[in-house]
Structure 1
Amino acid sequence: MSSKLHVVALVSGGKDSLFSILHCLRNGHDVVALANLHPPQTGPSSTHEADDINSFMYQTVGHSIIPLYEKALKLPLYRQPILGHAVNSDKDYHHHLATSAAPLSTPSSAPRQVDAVAASETSTAAKPTADAADASFPAEPSVSSASDEVSNTSRNDSALPHQNRRQAEPSTLRVRGETPDDDDDADETESLLPLLRKVLAAHPEVNAVCTGAILSTYQRTRVESVCARLGLVPLGYLWQYPSLPPYADASLLRDMDAVGQDARIIKVASGGIDSTFLWQNVAEKRTVERLKRAAARFGGEGAVLGEGGEFETAAVDGPSCVWKAGRIEVDVDEEAVVGEGGSAVVKFKGARVVEKAPSDDGGLENLRIPDLFDIEFEELGRKLLLSSPETAADSNTTKSIDQSLASTTLSPDPPLQTLQHQTILQDTTLTISNLTVPHANNEPLSPTSQLEAIKSQLLTLLSTHSATSSNITSTTLLLRSMSLFTLLNPIYGSLFTSAPNPPARVTIACGSSLPLGTDVSLSCTVNLPHTNNSNNHPLRRGLHVQSRSYWAPANIGPYSQAIAVPASSSSPPSNVEIVHLAGQIPLVPASMDMVRAGDVAFARGGADNGFGVQTVLALQHLWRVGRVMGVRWWACGAAFVSACGDRREGDRRAVLAREAWRGIHEGLRPAEEEEDEDEGDVDVWDLKFGNRGMGGVSAVEVDGRANLPNFKGVKLVDGGGDDDDDDVLAPPCVVAEVLELPRATDIEWTSPGLANCKNVALRILRGGETGLLVHETKFAADTVAFYAAGVADRNQVWDLEDVLQNADVPAGGRIYTVYMAKPLPQEWLGKSKPLVVPCSRVWGPEGKEVAAAVMMRYSRSSDGS
């Protein structure tokens, strides 16, 4: 189990910020304080709702009741005025883009004073949404604190001791907006820094921050930026909540109702949600049904929850485990304050904390935790694991193992002598592969010196192409041993400190498969800027979630879950994207602990089931990230499995991984008459809960998640391959056995994803003297394609070249990745210039053990070459 965290809750008084506290407690953490950012007082006449400043980041309506939360919850409350405005209005935030280079003005060192006043939390982008916040109370004295910036390098997931949080020298940098003279130039996000420093000064045990962010990347990335600099763990248990089982916006409101949270609508800002909703309990059944109807007519994603600014709330009561002292009683004026565009705000006449009648409201016991597994992955796990206690696989899997064992016996070869550095520029994609520096001046280098030299070499190569590290979209980091990871990761992270969304990364340990003396190798894919962007499509999209949630593992290190870039610069321009995904390992998102078979209902326990559970959960993480990024189809799955010392067990793991890949595609393929639907419309709520719903609600919900894979527009073209494997329509999948994986896991999944592609053509090609099978995935009007093949011996790579030549694939547009268990001909390696991943064993797309698995991406440049 993960260690207990000591949490400060960023609260606005709204439904989400208060509900997130309950989830912190449910996950075993202690909430020790509340923190709030409030509008600065504008003058003696500044009172109540008049100070709703419509912040881009913070919610500032309903502030007159905020001071009462300290008494009602029996938690100390800290506050700080919001300084500045949205200087950096990008969706993804980095503090370097919102800090001043001006000389430091040292803050006062006056002692901290705490007066128990208002609380607020952060909100969604563009306008205040979903929760209320604080306002018109006098600002507290500044906390004495030199301006400190925490290094943006990685750290272990466990909370850092307060005294070990790294701080920059006070003379080097200060945060804009921390002193009165530059308030107008400050980004409002940076107001969080002095607020949290104030809390840390009073509660040095605090090592985590919780918020109520649900869908807002704008909000989440800003809180995460501040937390990273202060060494605090961000907790976002409500993140992507509507995409978790049972896949409905209203499920969050029902969960609030089930535990007795009472949050009232205090502001409406949408024509569909009018003033008749004011002061209604947002989680009450009748209100939920009205919100659903209004959202169906006028709202977008998250409208039922107010995520688009449709309404805001203020919590006035809840379970006694949070509301320890009482509830908030509010006197409300019968007439609302009406604003422009159909907006209206409740007018408060007075509020007080009143004692609650004794009750056994259940609290934490009634709090639903979303299921760890999506329904389709739970079903996949059952099929994989329950049919045979001896092998944790069905008869087809056992047959496949026997076929794999009967395949060509691969004799051991000496390890690679060297990894040849390669640089290829194709269209706007620059690939820099196999960077190694094992020696200098004929002297061996230490692992850290090797990576420092690689870093210098990489920056030089990038500069020759007018690029920087911020142009890197994905990396592959190969280590001799995972024991080197904590030593080398800070050096790697120092490459990516000046911009948000660092590249996606796959990290594996190859052991003795690496050349002698080589302890680390780095390969990169770089997306170079280009001028052919007349459709104004973004040249880079990223997803870097650092908060713990129920959704997918947090990436606390210097790598993103995914980076998407245009597939090509072809003319006319296209919105089709290649999505680079980080390696996904089977961590339980809420705790960041490795999943255990004994904690999973569909597993029977034992070592075999442990691998199966890991396989399914890591694959689900790949799916969840892919869905958020808009992936419609995978190019080629790659499963890394750790060496287990038993050849037959290695075969079983490889087959099980392949069965999982193919099984999830088969399970998600709709019936033929349903394939015209573009988005998911499976009645998952009814499937899971029947007509009873959640919390007694009899409504039936619809799964609104995007289809992945999206079979609409996917066609299988006869390529003469005569693949009689079966009729499963799925991308190819390769499995590679390596020495070790991060966190000592047994499996790590990754795959390039294809986004915004409406048509995908699949073809299996056969050619060469050996009848080699090559899997082709073509999209983007034939300007981009992926190819995958398993070569049984070193000389079969020449058959691959024959197949590609016969398929009219120009040699100039190819980018290769080779998962190599046996050395391939140097002539071919020199010609193809692949990224090489040395492995101990490899299984190709047909499921048989091979000398190497080859993946190749072809892109046609804007000049047609």
Structure 2
Amino acid sequence: MMTTPAAPPPAQGGRLNVIALISGGKDSFFSLLHCLAHGHRVVALANLHPPETNEHEGSKQEEEEEGGGGGEEEDLNSFMYQTVGHQVIPLYAEATGIPLYRQPILGGATQGKDYSHFSTAVAVQGEGDNNAKAKHVKDDDDETESMIPLLLAIKRAHPEANAICAGAILSTYQRTRVESVAVRLGLTPLAFLWKFPILPVPQHLAGGDVATTDAQLLDDMAAAGMEARIIKVASGGLDDSFLWTNVADRLGKERVARSMRRFGTASEKGAVIGEGGEFETLVLDGPRQLFRKRIMVEEKDRRVVREGGGCAWLSFRSAKLEDKEVTVAASDEEKSDTGKIRIPDLLDARFVGVLEGLNTSASAGEEEARKLLALLNMEPQHSLSKQEGTFQLGLPQSLNDRKLQQWCFFGNAFSSAGSSNTVETETSLLVSRIRQRLRQSNLPPSAILTSTILLRHMADFPTVNSIYGALFDSPNPPSRVCVACGDSLSALTNSNGSISIAIYLTVHTGFTNKSKTDQRRQGLHVQSRSYWAPANIGPYSQAISIPLASLSSSSKPSNSTGGNHDDGNGGPRLVTIAGQIPLVPATMALPPAEPEQQRQALNTQLALSLQHLWRIGLEVGVQWWTSAVAYFPAATTTTTTDSSFSMPMSEKARLAYKTWQSAHQWSSKVASDEEDSDANSDPDEDDGPDLWDRKFNPRYMSFAVTSTEESSSSEPKLPDWSVLSKNNNSKDEKKKRRTIPPFFAAQVAELPRSAGVEWHAHLGVAKAGSKSVTVLESFAANINSDDGTGEERVVEVHQTVVRSPPSTSEQDDDDDDLDDMDNDDDDDDDKGVKIEASGRQPALLQTIVVERYMGGSSPPSSSLSSSSSSFATVDELARLSTRRLINQGHGEPDKERGGPSVMVRYVDVSLSAAAALGGGGGGGGGVSVAVVPCASLWDAYGERLASVTIYQSVFE
């Protein structure tokens, strides 16, 4: 009986010394408790408060006698910091026994949700993780920068401090600002509550509504022994009668949830826990592990301040500390308190199911392999010319109009003087060439969407990372994939010697320097440790997305002026996502594995790393993947616990595909329980706001279009089957749910962190309307090799079309065609779907050409041509398969339009000589085809491949 991974264990050997940012609210303190649960040590509390005339920057605050002072009766309503209740904060030092440091808030909110310190301040980081020499140029207009002098003062008093924790849950605004400051000061950012509402909940709550699952956080706080009182309300669902309600209590939590359901806000993600500003809290007590004393505020010392518009808060005249009763030995109680902090399970229900499937008998994979052998005997297409029934588009863009370009840069093995270059020198030269190419093209670094970095040795990664990172000085750097190819990397150049690095960049040439703040490019860059997904601390984002419409030859930057001109910011979005390895997010370490359980360990890594890809995809709205590759490291003999798991690559490929397939086909078997209807017996269950209030009263406007049904239907789904349209051969709507995006496995030398697998989805599709994605029927063809031997090769073509939503009339025509395809009249089978891009709306075509090896499992190196023309036939096949989709009404494309662009080519180097790979010379120059040299390539069923090439075309 297999066991699924539970919550990750506390950190072993990775204890951090944490500065805890506290506001007095429940989230910052609960995040602090999670730090303690992971074995970290909290060395100081840090708080920012409204300006006061007698404060000294960075000074340690003595507790005011009896909590002294009501302070000014105003709330800053900061987007960044909770300020109401700040008069009680000084008591936390004595209550917890942890030194407290405070600093006035200077300035206000600036910029958007993603934060760049380069526009407001400069901090120069010195050497080492604990850099006390960071310099700061203060900007009094930006409230974020108020953290810098406070944290510097704490680091001077506690030089061992190397991490910072905050209570961000769903606020990108808050998280990115803390991360910006932390990284500049050499502190590891911790945000254990990040995305907490979407993480696995206890089994009995699975399938519940949003309010139920969100409120689990409040249940967890109650179980931990916290007392968190509401001290501010700012929502039509909560009036001032809710002030001083304990939300870390079952009755208080249920009262809040009932009221929000009544007013229509409970279905909004995070509302029940106050993430939308519905309420703010003040923590008075917690487990003895943290709180030695309890804070008391008597009723006579609390006064309600009403601001209007539904906003009210409590002003405190006085507060005091109270000793806690000791019923057991303190040390024993503290140990028991540690176990009360619920750590979410490592895997979601989807990937628990995936892992259970992987740990079953291998017979299923063998059966799938037999099915493949039958598939390979199918009759190949005899012609690639236009045929009735083919999905048809407009004309492909000309070479000059293409806005997505692939730039390739290769290292130099030798300097101009003939001496060998170090990897540091090679990387610096490449970065210089990239900067030069950007300048020549009038493009900012933000025009780079994603990068692939190939190294000779993974040990060079830290050196490369620091130099490469200097390219980017704004939020959301490109997503990135990094693998090590070993000696195969030298096959990319025609020069003698061994290069150490190659960099491939996907660049959007429409994002010029004139549109440097172009809002069409969006990103996700989470640098904090959490339970959600691995932190990306460094110059790469989890995801970057652009609108499909921005690829139109007529699109303009979104900040340009041009009347009614389309700003290129609507419709489907194309998403690039960083390669994902199986790190446990909270510890940033690989899952523990027993040597005798290698297969189960690999299965866990497969499921966990794919879950990371899924969670990131869902966060940025991905509904469909166009294709994916699973990288595996080559087997090594230097260690007994290496990441290769000592099993054949054919088996690893089958396991990876089973993971990919199961993740797509999994469906929840948990039915939602109907909510208990006890409205008539509860005094709080009166009617919600009437229709007039919902439409015209500012206090209730946010509820006007909110409903449980709308919220549930808008929840992201991956895969989202509604975005798929039927292809020309489909007669069964259910076939869509059996459609799996193309997959293959690539063996390279090494992966980051000695991981056993790395998942890379080539492209995600987000914000796609109904039937916006078409997966065309795959086909096979026999082609002759170019080496004069007359040997035939089997080549498969897989194509996916992403298009902007058609007009209403086109949609109706599409539906009619699809209805016709479903009937039993054979005369209608060839009607097909002819869909053209309306106006100048573009459509993206991804073509994958898979070249199979037909000569057995151990091919000789001479089995393929050593001439670069060995890929000429493959490229020609891609061109012909693209050409057949051109609508007949548009005529033939002229030569200027050329063929599809090669985005990346994966090649088994044991089957192709160096000259066949398409690499550049010793210095690159950004003109060669992007090639990933692999030790071996495998399909979904464990069969050997010679090459896989991914092409893109844009039609208008």
Q: Distance in 1 between matches of 2:182 and 2:215?
A: 30
For the pair 1:433 / 2:408, whether they are aligned, the reply is yes
Specify the alignment match of 1:176 in structure 2: 138
Taking the aligned partners of 1:626 and 1:357, their CA distance within structure 2 comes to: 49
* Residue among 321, 325, 332 paired with 1:357: 325
Equivalent residue number for residue 170 of structure 2: 215
Q: Which residue of 1 aligns with 2:96?
A: 73
Say whether 1:40 aligns with 2:51.
yes
Match of 1:103 in 2: none
Return the letter of the residue paired with 2:522.
R
Matched, 1:492 2:468: yes
Distance (Å, rounded) in 1 between the aligned partners of 2:529 and 2:196: 12
**Pairing 1:171-570 to 2, within 5 Å after superposition:** 174-177=136-139, 183=140, 186-246=141-201, 248-296=213-261, 297-299=263-265, 300-332=268-300, 336-359=304-327, 362-385=336-359, 387-388=360-361, 393-397=362-366, 400=369, 427-441=402-416, 443=418, 444-496=420-472, 498-514=473-489, 515=491, 516-529=497-510, 538-569=519-550, 570=552
Give 1:242 shift: 0.5
CA deviation string 1:746-775 (max 9, x = no partner): 110111211111221111242543563322
Letter of the 1:21 partner, please give it: L
For normalisation by structure 1, the TM-score amounts to 0.79
Kindly state the Cα deviation for residue 261 of structure 1 after the two structures are TM-superposed. 0.8
- With CA pairs under 8 Å and 6+ residues apart, which has the higher RCO, 1 or 2? 2
Sort the Cα spacing of 1:729 and 1:31 in 2 relative to 1 into closer, same or farther, 3 A: same
- Is 2:73–2:315's contact at 8 Å kept on the other side of the alignment? no
In structure 2, stretches of 5+ residues that fail to align are 1-11, 56-67, 207-212, 378-397, 492-496, 555-565, 637-643, 677-707, 784-793, 805-836, 838-842, 854-869, 888-896, 921-926
State the 1:394 CA deviation. Answer: 3.9
Q: Secondary structure at the match of 1:502?
A: coil
Instruction: Kindly state the Cα deviation for residue 845 of structure 1 after the two structures are TM-superposed.
Output: 5.8
1:326-385 deviations in Å (ceiling 9; x for gaps): 343443557521112111112323211101122467422121100000011011101101
Cα deviation, residue 291, structure 1: 2.6
Provide the rounded CA distance (Å) in 1 between the counterparts of 2:952 and 2:339.
51
**Kept in 1: contact 2:479–2:578 (CA 8 A):** yes
Do residues 791 (structure 1) and 851 (structure 2) align?
yes
**SS at the partner of 1:606?**
helix
Q: 1:857 maps to which residue?
A: 952
Separation in structure 2 between the aligned mates of residue 789 and residue 505 of structure 1, nearest angstrom: 23
Displacement after TM superposition at 1:713 (Å): 2.6
* Distance of 1:262 and 1:460 partners within structure 2: 58
Deviates more, 1:463-472 or 1:545-554: 463-472
Listed one character per residue, the Cα deviations across residues 211-268 of structure 1 (whole Å, up to 9, x for unaligned) are 1110111111111111111111111000000010127211111101111211000000
The answer to whether the 8 Å contact 1:329/1:351 transfers is yes
| Percent identity over paired residues | 39
Query: How many matched pairs?
Result: 743
For residue 406 of structure 1, report the CA deviation from its aligned partner: 14
| Aligned equivalent of 1:591, options 587, 591, 597 | 587
Return the letter of the residue paired with 1:857.
Q
How much is the aligned-residue C-alpha RMSD, in angstroms?
3.6
Corresponding residue for 1:632? Answer: 623
Structure 1 distance, partners of 2:716, 2:309, is 32
Q: Which residue of 2 aligns with 1:663?
A: 662
Measure, in 2, the Cα distance between the counterparts of 1:32 and 1:768: 66
Question: 2:616 corresponds to which letter in structure 1?
Answer: V
**Equivalence for 2:811:** none
In structure 2, the residue corresponding to 1:818 is in which secondary structure?
strand
Cα distance in structure 1, aligned partners of 2:194 and 2:721: 28
1-structure distance, mates of 2:730, 2:880: 14
How far residue 56 of structure 1 moved from its aligned partner, in angstroms, is 2.8
TM-score by length of 2: 0.72
Aligned residue among 574, 577, 593 for 2:573: 577
2:779 matched residue in structure 1: 766
Aligned pair in 2 of structure 1 residues 588, 405: CA closer, same or farther (>3 Å)?
Answer: farther
* Residue 807 (structure 1) aligned with residue 807 (structure 2): no
Q: Can you list the C-alpha shifts for 1:653-711, whole angstroms capped at 9, x where unaligned?
A: 1111111111110114x8xxxxxxxxxxx857879xx9xxxxxxxxx999895211111
Tell me the distance in 1 between the aligned counterparts of 2:31 and 2:176. 17
Gaps of 5+ in 1: 101-147, 178-182, 409-422, 599-603, 671-681, 691-699
Relative distance call for 1:34 and 1:424 in structure 2 (3 A) is: farther
Match of 2:582, as an amino acid? Answer: P
Check conservation: 1:6, 1:207, Cα contact below 8 A: yes
Distance in 1 (alpha carbons) for counterparts of 2:602 and 2:537: 25
- Classify 1:597/1:381 alpha carbon distance in 2 versus 1 (closer, same or farther; 3 Å): farther
2:87 maps to 1:64? yes
Which deviates more from structure 2 when the two are superposed, residues 796-805 or residues 247-256? 796-805
Question: What SS class does the counterpart of residue 50 from structure 1 fall into?
Answer: coil
Which of 590, 611, 618 is matched with 1:620 structurally?
Answer: 611
Q: Is the 8 A contact 1:401 1:651 kept in 2?
A: no
Taking the aligned partners of 1:825 and 1:510, their CA distance within structure 2 comes to: 14
Which segment drifts farther, 806-815 or 304-313?
A: 806-815
Question: Which has the higher mean CA deviation after the structures are superposed, 707-716 or 734-743?
Answer: 707-716
Among 733, 736, 743, the alignment partner of 2:743 is: 733
Q: Residues 528 and 735 (structure 1 numbering): CA distance in 2 closer, same or farther, change over 3 Å? A: same
Task: Give, as a single letter, the amino acid of the residue that structure 2 aligns with 1:99.
Answer: A
Residues 814 and 859, structure 1, Cα contact 8 Å, conserved in 2: no
User: 1:147-190: CA deviations, max 9, x gaps?
Assistant: x5216xxx9xxxx553xx2846x6xxx4224xxxxx3xx31111
Counterpart for residue 94 of structure 1: 116
Q: Quick check: 1:815–1:856 contact (8 Å CA) kept in 2? A: yes
CA distance in 2, matches of 1:468, 1:161: 30
Q: What is residue 705 of structure 2 aligned with on the other side? A: none
3-state SS, counterpart of residue 483 of structure 2: strand
Match of 1:823 in 2: 912
For 2:505 and 2:175, how far apart are their aligned partners in 1? Answer: 28
1:470 Cα shift?
2.5
Q: Does 1:841 align with 2:936?
A: yes
Equivalence for 1:419: none
- Residue matched to 2:701: none
**What CA distance in whole angstroms lies between the structure 2 residues aligned with 1:537 and 1:6?**
39
Query: Which residue of the other structure, out of 708, 711, 720, is the alignment partner of 1:710?
Result: 720
8 Å contact kept, 2:365–2:941: no
Letter in 1 for 2:276: G
Conserved 8 A contact 2:372-2:941: no
Q: Please say if residues 529 and 585 of structure 2, whose CA atoms lie closer than 8 Å, have aligned partners that are also in contact.
A: yes
Does the 8 Å CA contact 1:815/1:858 hold for their aligned counterparts? no
Greater shift, 811-820 or 319-328, is seen at 811-820
Give the aligned partner of residue 19 of structure 2.
8
**Higher-Rg member (1/2):** 2
Q: Conserved in 1, the CA contact under 8 Å of 2:368 and 2:941?
A: no
